[in-house]
Structure 1
Amino acid sequence: MGEDAAPRMKLAVPWGHIAAKLWGSRQGPPVLCLHGWLDNANSFDRLIPLLPKDFHYVAMDFGGHGLSSHYSPGLPYYQQNFVIEVQRVVAALKWNRFSIMGHSFGEGVCGHYGRSYSCTFPEMVDKLILLDRHFPLLLTEPTESENLLTYKRRMIEHTLQIEASQKPQRVLSPEEMLQGQSTASISSAGTCLCLSSGSCRPTS
């Protein structure tokens, strides 16, 4: 069950796709594997074949890593974005409860402190496996931590809900907008022409 033997999959996201590798039984208890910073899913190639075969292992490539699409220019690679990516993958796989195995930076994304997935969605996580832990605990007052996690969870759920309800939109080039092409598909109430000077004026 080496690198070549592991099937691959791609999950669609707004900026492209998230790539993942699969091992084990599809009917087994699910385990999501998160790699370290500037690494990829291949970092689990030698470990997972040594683990019990009756689990279903999915090792994802974070955005901008491995075979996953890079973020759009100007969008930073914040840890919170990777926490949202985990929720995207879990939703696509239709997992209700699963275990997480995180290595290095992946441990920080899935781990046991305030900005992590397991603290934001604790009911989703069955078991937590941390490899090469280096992220410190987030020391805050209990009430403050609870309020922060509630806010982050609502933000993630709201973001994904909005994306799911929207239809893909065609992006017009500045040339098309200035030439007045495809004006029928543009809402005059929310459209503006961005001029070379950097100013912006409504079209209506």
Structure 2
Amino acid sequence: MGLFSELKMAVPWGHIAAKAWGSQRGSPVLCLHGWLDNANSFDRLIPLLPKHFYYVAMDFGGHGLSSHYSPGLPYYHQNFVGEIRRVAAALKWDRFAILGHSFGGIVGGMFACIFPEMVDKLVLLDSVPFVLDSNERENLLTYRRKLIEHTLQVEQDSKQPSRGLSREEMLQRFLKNNSHVGEECGELLLQRGATQVATGLVLNRDRRIARPEHSFEFISRELCVCSIKKLQASILLIKAIEGYHDVRRENDADKGPMLFIIDQLKSVLNERFQFVEVPGNHYVHLNQPNHVASVISSFLQSRDKIPASP
């Protein structure tokens, strides 16, 4: 399982890149990385998971080795949901499991509601299937304005050549912006997230996705409740004790929206929902994959209920 292959799937704006582990004859698992991350996010976890599955970790559009969207087109949450459907079509998957970290869990959760017949299991790594608008309602119009203005600014700035950084400078800047990632794991993400050019290293990701309000969709509690009722999948939610509770750090102390979603999942899904807490931070699957590997393995291999955290 230490060996992997690279995949490239054609889309109208270029291609979606992915890396795969295992035999194509195995039960399929689609792995979805977090916001601004890439498929290398799963490099340390997947080798610890059952060998008889076929794991495909994709780079969302504008991330990792996937193509950027065409100029002038913004990145909306539903675009990323649509990318999952495109990948499933390219791989000829009718039904599969999803393993999503953070933003990947949110995108995967929405996909599982829109295409419920296609997802049999959903693993959420320090994530929830939706982001509620509880703390964001008054800001939604402002975000839409910022999205347009930011896109125009990026287009203007792109006319200037990118400044390359040394590997050490790039790593230190990355770690400063990702306090939950250690140096070794930061280097792993940058292996796929940066490219060497004549002037140094430059980030691969599209600058248009540099603000969370461009990529996350904030939904009402009412829509959340309706969406959960559509789910056919069994769900395992793994909460890192030192992880995040909100998209924005300034709202992170408010656990209300997450607890509301968890209560709804428990109420609607009953035995199909499992909640487990593990020691670690938001990147526990990358920093300490052994903390989550066994519980994910049990969930993927069995429909029996695994021990829930108190």
Q: Could you say which residue in structure 2 is the equivalent of 1:117?
A: 111
Q: CA deviation at 1:108?
A: 0.5
Equivalent residue for 2:32, pick from 21, 31, 34: 34
1:1-204 correspondence runs (5 A) = 1-2=1-2, 5-111=3-109, 116-134=110-128, 135-136=130-131, 138-140=220-222
- Separation (CA, whole Å) in 2 of partners of 1:25 and 1:145: 33
Residues 30 and 56 in structure 2, CA contact (< 8 A), matched pair in contact too: yes
- How many residues of Structure 1 are paired with residues of Structure 2 in the alignment? 141
- Separation (CA, whole Å) in 1 of partners of 2:91 and 2:227: 29
- Separation (CA, whole Å) in 2 of partners of 1:142 and 1:48: 30
Residues 97 and 121 in structure 2, CA contact (< 8 A), matched pair in contact too: yes
TM-score by length of 2: 0.43
Instruction: Encode CA deviations 1:23-76: one digit per residue, 9 max, x unaligned.
Output: 012111000000000000000000000000000000000000000000011211
Distance of aligned partners of 1:39 and 1:121 in 2 relative to their CA distance in 1, 3 Å threshold:
same
- Separation (CA, whole Å) in 2 of partners of 1:125 and 1:21: 20
Report the residue type matching 2:57 in the other structure.
A
Root-mean-square deviation (CA, aligned residues, Å) is 2.2
Residues 113 and 227 in structure 2, CA contact (< 8 A), matched pair in contact too: no
SS at match of 1:118: helix
Q: Which has the larger displacement, 73-82 or 7-16? A: 73-82
Gaps of 5+ in 1: 147-204
Report the residue type matching 2:105 in the other structure.
E
Q: Which has the higher contact order (CA 8 A, sep 6+)?
A: 2
- Separation (CA, whole Å) in 2 of partners of 1:50 and 1:143: 34
SS at match of 1:140: helix
- Separation (CA, whole Å) in 2 of partners of 1:86 and 1:80: 10
Distance of aligned partners of 1:50 and 1:72 in 2 relative to their CA distance in 1, 3 Å threshold:
same
Q: CA deviation at 1:6?
A: 1.3
Which one has the largest radius of gyration?
1
SS at match of 1:9: strand
Distance of aligned partners of 1:7 and 1:141 in 2 relative to their CA distance in 1, 3 Å threshold:
closer
Distance of aligned partners of 1:61 and 1:52 in 2 relative to their CA distance in 1, 3 Å threshold:
same
Instruction: Encode CA deviations 1:79-120: one digit per residue, 9 max, x unaligned.
Output: 100000000000111101000000000010011xxxx10000
Q: CA deviation at 1:145?
A: 5.5
Report the residue type matching 1:140 in the other structure.
E
Distance of aligned partners of 1:51 and 1:81 in 2 relative to their CA distance in 1, 3 Å threshold:
same
Report the residue type matching 1:118 in the other structure.
A
- Separation (CA, whole Å) in 2 of partners of 1:69 and 1:61: 9
Report the residue type matching 2:222 in the other structure.
T
Report the residue type matching 1:139 in the other structure.
R
Q: CA deviation at 1:136?
A: 3.7
- Separation (CA, whole Å) in 1 of partners of 2:98 and 2:131: 18
Stretches of 4+ moved more than 4 A in 1?
Answer: 141-146
TM-score by length of 1: 0.64
Distance of aligned partners of 1:8 and 1:140 in 2 relative to their CA distance in 1, 3 Å threshold:
same
Identity %: 72
- Separation (CA, whole Å) in 2 of partners of 1:79 and 1:139: 18
Q: CA deviation at 1:77?
A: 1.3
Q: CA deviation at 1:143?
A: 10
